[in-house]
Amino acid sequence: MAEDYANLMARLKSGDLDEFTVEPADFMAFQTAYMQFESRKRIVGQAEKNGKIIYHYDHDQTQ
C-alpha cells in the first residue's frame, strides 16, 4: 500500500507527527505530493544512509 504523503505532510504541519521517512523506492511518489503541498518550503528533509530521507516541518521558519 502506498503512503499518503499529502496526509503525512499535513500531519507534520499540524504537529500531529514529528517526522516521517521516505525510502528511495518511494521518492517519486513523495515528490509528486510534495510539489502539490502548499507549504512545501517548510518541509525539510535530512538524508540518511542508503538513500532514506527523514522529513520534518520547520515551524520556526520565517517567510
Cell of 21: 521517512
pLDDT for 50-60, tens place per residue?
999 999 999 88
Rg (alpha carbons) of the chain, rounded to whole number: 11
Q: Where are the domains of the chain?
A: 5-57
- Does 63 score more than 80 pLDDT? no
| Percent of the chain as helix, strand, coil, to the nearest 5 | 45, 20, 35
pLDDT for 5-34, tens place per residue?
999 999 999 999 999 999 999 999 999 999
